[in-house]
Structure 1
Amino acid sequence: MKRWGESSFEAQLPPETVLTQMEMAVIVCDRFSNVIYSNAFAHQLFGFGGDEHIGQSILSLGIAEEDRDQATELARHVLKGGVWEGTFSNVRADGATIYTRAHAVPLRHPSGAIDGIAIFAREALRSNQRDQDRYGLLERIGERLAGSLEPSTTLRQMADTLVPQFADHCFIDLFSGDRLVRRISRHAAGWSPPPGTWAEVGEPVSYPPGHFCAKAMDRRDAVLVEDLVQHRFSAPNGPSGRLGEDMGITSVIAAPLLARGELLGVMSLALSNLSKRPDPHYDGFDRDLVGAIASRVALAVDNAMLFEQERETALAFQKDLLPGERPPRLDGLKIAWRYEPAKPLESHGHGIQTQVGGDWYDVIPLSAGRVGLVIGDVEGRGARAAAVMGQLRAALRAFAQDDKPPAEILRKLDEWTRTMSAARRPRGGDDVVRPPLVSCTYFVYDAWSRVLSFANAGHDPPLLVQDGQVSELEFDSKGAMLGVRGGGVGGEILFNEESCELKPGATLVLYTDGLIDRRPKEDGHYHSSEESRRMVREAVAAASHGDVEAVANAAYDAVPGDIDDDVAIVVIRTAGEELAVEQRSFRAEPIMVSEARRMASDTFAAWGMDREQADLACLLVSEVVTNVVLHAASAPVPRREPQVAGPAPGGDPLMGFDEEIWDLGMELGRREPAAKEFRLRLRRGADSLWVEVFDSDLRLPRIRSADETDEGGRGLYLVDQLATRWGARPTSDGKAVWFELPLEP
C-alpha cells in the first residue's frame, strides 16, 4: 500500500486518461480556430454523440448567433498571446440553450510561436431556464461593454445581446442637444416596422406626458408595464400605439440612461407575440435587471463619447500638423499621399484601445527646385505622440531650409529630439525623461539630375519600382532611431549619407509600419511582417501602370484586416521627360559678367520666355555674378609655408643656409593660385525659373545696408526685392547662390 508522503506512484495515468475523466470540457483548436481535440465531457456538455465537429470551426460547438463575434474576437486575442475568460450562450445538439463559462489560453510551440488555443469550459449556472437567461445576459453585457469605445458600436452590441434573448423590440434614444434622437431600433425575427409608424434611426423622438419612457426619464428610475393591455394610459399615441396593438405588445420596461448624474437618454424593451414566448410578460426582477443594464449601458456610452471626443481632438490636432489634403505641384515629380488613423479595437472586456499615433510625412520645397521628402513614426499614441510629431516636423522643415545634406539634417533632428526630453525634466529634479524614439528617413531629390540623396534613422526602406520590377531601396545602414544615444563622437549617432539615380518614370513608395501590421479579419490569421511586405510588393507591382493615387490605394488595401496603428503612405513618381537646364563655367573676372549675362539671355530666348521676364532675370544674373566675382577677387590668399632649396653648393652644412639660395628657394616655392572660376546654372520648371551661381569661396553672402554715397552694396538687396526667393547653400567645394523667379503664363 502506498504511504502518505511518498513522492512517486507505482503507475502513472497517461494524459489522455486524465483528460477523458475530467468533469470539464477541454477543446483544442489550431491557429485557424478549427477544433482538433475535445474530451468526453465536452461531448456531454454540448450534446454531441462523437467527433463530428473535429476539423470544423469552433463555431460548430453551437455558439449562439449573437455570441459569434465574441468567439471570433476571443481567437484573435488569444492568438496574440493573451488569455480570455467569459460566458457564451450555446445551443446544444438537442436544441436546448445553455450558458458556458469558458477560459482560453494560447498553446505555444517550444520555439515560442503560438500554435493554437486551449479552451476549458463548464456550465455557468444550474437552475431554471429563465434564471440562466438572466444570469448569462447580465454577465455577457458587462463583458461586451467593458471594451467598447465607440458609441454606435456600444449601442449595436446591446441591441444584439438583448434581442431576441430578452426582448422582441429594443429602442435606445439619446439626447442631441435638447431633443431626443432615435439611435437604435431593433426587432426580433428580422421584422421591421412599416414607414411612418415607429420613429426610425436618426429621427427625433417626442414622448407625451404619461408615456412610460417620459416617466422613466422624469423619475430617473426604471418603469415596468407588466400588462400593456390593462394599462392603456401607458401606451404610445397615434400610429405607434396602433402598431403596438397590431403586434400584440404585452409588456414593456423603460429605463433612463444616467451617467455621472446626467441624463443621456432612455432605453425601452418590449415583449410581443412576435416570438411566441410561453409567458410574454416582464416582472419586478426583470425591471431591476433592465435598470442595472441601463446603468452599465449609460456609463459605457458616456465613456465611449468621451473617448471619441478625445480621439477626434487628437486626430484633428494631428491632421492640422500634417500637410494638406493635396500635395504641392512640383517639377519632375507626381506625388500622392494617404494618412489613415487606427480605429478603436473592441476587446470585449480587456480594455485594449487604439488612438491616433505619431506617423508623419512631408514634402519640402528646397532651393533650385530640389525637394525634401520625409516619412517618420514617433513611438507611442495619443495627443502626446501627435504633439511630438508636430515639433519634429516643424524642426525638420526649419533645418531643411539650410540645404544641408540629409545626414546632417538627421543629426540635428536627433539633437533636437534630446532637447525636447531635457525641456520636460522638472527644474532641479533628478528624474530622467527618456527621449521619444523616432524612426524616419529624409530624402532630397533633384528632378533635373534625377539624383536621390538620403539618410535613414531606423525606418523601414521604401519600395522602388523601376522597369516593372518592385524591390526595396537598399540602405547600406539602417541607422539608429532618433533619440537613441551611442555610436558616435560624444555619444551622438553617425548617420550615413547615400545616393542613387532614379530612372525616368520610377516610383518610390514610402510608408510607416502600420501598413503591414494589421489585425486579422474573420479567419483570425495574423500575417507575418514578411508576408505583409510580400502582399504590398505584389499589390504595388500590379498597380504600377496606374497613376500615383492608384498605387497608394493598392498599397493600403494590400494586407487584409483592420489597421492596428496609424498608416502614412507617400508615393512619388519621377518625370518621364528631361527638364530644361543649361549651365556653363566662367573665369572669375569682371569681363565675364557680360558673358554670363549673354549666355543667360540666349538661353531665355531659346526657352521662349517673355521679354520683360527675361530682362529681369538677366539683371539679377548680373548682380549675383558680379557679387561672386568681387568676392573672388578679394578672397584672402591661403597661407603657405616657405619651401627651402637647401644648403649652398659646396657650403658647409653645419654653417647654415646661404642667403641667396634661401631667397631663391622662397621664390621657387611660391605657387601662383589657380585661376578661380564660377559656374552659372539655369533651370526652368512649369511655373518657376531658378538661377544658381557656384564658386569655390566658402563665405556665404549677406545683405548689407549701403549708404547713399556708396557705389556698391545694393546687388543682393535688389535680388531680395525682386526675386520670389533667394539664398545660399554650402556645397562640397564651396557654395551656391540661387534665386527663383515666377514664370507668368
Structure 2
Amino acid sequence: MATEPEPPGPVRHIPPAQATRSIAAAQPLRAASGAAVGRIGTAVSRGLPTRTGDSTPDWLEPAMAANGIGSFDWDIRHDVLEADPRACAILGLALDRYDRSSAAFLAMLHPEDAPVVRRRVERAVTELGQCGAYYRTVFPSGELHAVRFRGRVLADAFGRPSRMVGFVWDATVELHKRERAGELAALREERSRFIKEAARALAEAVTVRDVARVFTELPLPGLPPDGLVLASMEAGRLAILGASGYRDEDVAFYDRSPLAPAHPLAEAVRNRTPVFIASGAEYQERYPEAWDWARGTGRSAWAFLPLVASGRAIGVCVVSFDDDRELDTDERTLLSTLGGLVAQSLARARLHDAEHELAAGLQRVMLPRTVPAVPGVTTAVRYLAAGSGLQIGGDWYDVVPLPGGHVGLVIGDVQGHDVHAAGIMGQLRIALRAYAAEGHPPAAVMARASRFLADLDTDHFATCTYAEVNVDYGVVYAVRAGHLDPVVRRADGSAALVPVAGGLPLGISPDEEYRVTRFSLDPGETVVLCTDGLVEARGMDLDTGFERLCRAISGRLPGVDEAAREPLEDLADRIASQAADSNEREDDIALLLLRWDGPAGGLAAQQLRRRIGQADLARIAELRGELRDALRRWGVPDLIDTAELLSSELVTNAIRHTDRDAMFTARLYREPDSGARLRVEVEDESDLWPTRRTPGEQASSGRGLMLVEALADGWGVEPRGSGKRMWFELSVDAQVVGGPSA
C-alpha cells in the first residue's frame, strides 16, 4: 500500500484539459469489450461501500455517519464517479449537478497533489490493488480543504479492473494543525535566533550606554512591543538608562525617583520575579495607587522584568503594549530569558564603567593637569588610553619650566599596563621633574632618575626621552634612555627623525652615563615626542609607524598657507586621530609637541651650536652635514661650500692641537638692506695660539689658516678666560639672500 505524502505547498490553478489528460492514463482497459460486472456482495461483506441498490449494510451506515466518512464508487470502464451525500459534502461537490468524470474530479485538486493521486490510482488499477492518499482540494467558494481517501480496485469475471470502491473523510482539521505546527516551529526558530542575536549584541556591549542602546533597539519576535524602558537601581532610586516609545515627560517622572512600594516595578524587584499585566483593568485592580501614571502613558499591557545579577536586583526593564495582551507561556519565557541576558550585560557594563572612571581619575592625578605656558614656545599634549583592558598605564609626559627661561620636555613609558605601573610612573615623574627644576644638565637629570628608579626596587624599568630647550636660541639638548627618537617638523613643512644618542632604560643600571645630543630649531619648527603606542602595533613595525607619523606631521590642512603656522592643537589632533579609533590598540599613547616661536621681541639670529669630543673625530663629518642643512634652511645655500671647508679647518685644528673638547657655533645675522652675515666660532681651552705658516710644496699641513684668510671676509682669534675662540665671517648680498625655507 502506498505511503501518504506530506501536505503539499500553496494552491496553484491547473487547467481542466491537463487534468483530463492525466486521468486518461489511469484507464488502460476502457476500450475493452464490455463485460458484466460481478456482483459486489463480496465487497460489501468486506466492508466496502457500493452505489448499486441498497447494498450498504445497516450496521455500517451509522458507524460511517458517526465518523464523518463518505463512500464512493468509480466505474473505471465508463469513467463514472458515484458518491454518497456525505462524500459529496466532503469533496465539495453539488449532489445533483456535479460532473461525474474523473477529469473533473482531478481538476478540483491542488495542482501539486493531482499528480500524486493520479500515480497511485494508476498503480492500483494496474495491480488490482489498494491505494490511498492525502490531498488538498479547492471548493467552488475558494476555501482550501484537505481530504483523505482509501480505495480498492475490483476485477470483473475475466480478471480485468472494473471498479474502484472506497471511503473518503475530511482532514481539514489535520491540515490546520499541521499549518499551525509549522507556524509555531517557525516562531520557535525565530525566537531562538533572536535570543542568540540578543546574547551576541549584549555581549559586545561594553558600557552601560551600549547596553541601553542594544536593549531599546531589540526587535522582539512575534510580539513587537510599543514601549521599552531600561532602568538601574541606585541607592533605592531608579535611574533611567534608556527608553523608546515613551514621551520624555513620562520617563522623566521616574528618573532619579524613589521606587514606590505599591508599584509593579517594586514588586518585581522585591520578589525578583517578572510581573505580567494583560490589560488596563487588571493594572487598575492590582495596583490602584500607580494607575494614574500608567493610564497617562496610553499602554494597555505590561511586562516588568527584574534584572538580577549575582543574587541582587540591579535594575528593571519594562516591555509594554498598546493593546490588551495575554502573553502565553512561550512569550513569558522569552521575556524572562531576555531579562537575564540584560542583567548580566548591565552588571558587566557597570563594572567596566566603574573601572574606567577609576582609571581615568587616577590617570588624571598622575599626569599634569595643565601644561605651563613658557614665552617663546607653544606646547600641546595628548593622552590616549589603550583600546582594551584597564585604561591606565605607565605612559606619561611633562613640561618643566627651567631656570633661565628654558623649558624641559619629558616623555616616558614605565614597563607594564596596570595600576602598579601607573604608581611607579607617578613617582618617577615627580622625581625627574624635581631633578630638572633644580637646574641639573640633561645627562645628570637622566642618570639621577635611573638611580632613583633602581632604588625603588620595583622590578620595573622605564624608557624616557628628556630634552632641554634653550628658548633664546632654539637649541635642544636631548637625552634618550631606551626610548624613541624625536621627530622634528621643519619650517618648510617636512618632517624627519632626529637621531639622539641612546642609553639603557631607566632603572636597569644605576651607574649608567647618558650622552647629550644637540640640535637646533628655527622659528616655527616643532619637536614631536611620543611613546611607542603611536608608532608600533600588531601588524605595524617601528619603521612603518615612523613613516606614517612623519606623513601626518608633514601634511597640510586645507586652507592653511604655511604648514609651519598650522595651529599646534590641530596638528596634535591630526596625529592622535591615527590611533584614536582603534579598538584593538594594546598600548597607551602619550604625545608631546613643542613649537619654537622664537624669542620675544623678534627673530633671533639663526644658530647651530655643537660640542665636538676630543676623541670623536666622526663627529666632524656629522657637523658638516648639519651645517649644510642649516645653511640651506636659512636661505643662504651659496655659502655652503665655503663655510663647510673653513669650518672643517677650524674644528680639525682645535681637535689636533688641544686635549679638550671643542665648541662649534654658527650664527646667521640678517642685516637690513645689506644681505646676511655668517659668523662661525670654534672655542677650545688651549692657550696655544695658531701660527700662520708658509708650507712647502711637499708639506702635508699648514694650509688651514691660509684657506681661511683667502676665502673668509674676515677672521681672527680672541682670548677667553681659559682658552681661545677662533672665528671667521662670510657675507652674502641682499639680492641672493632668501628667507628661511618655507
Q: TM-score, normalising length from structure 1?
A: 0.49
Higher relative contact order (CA closer than 8 Å, sequence separation 6+):
1
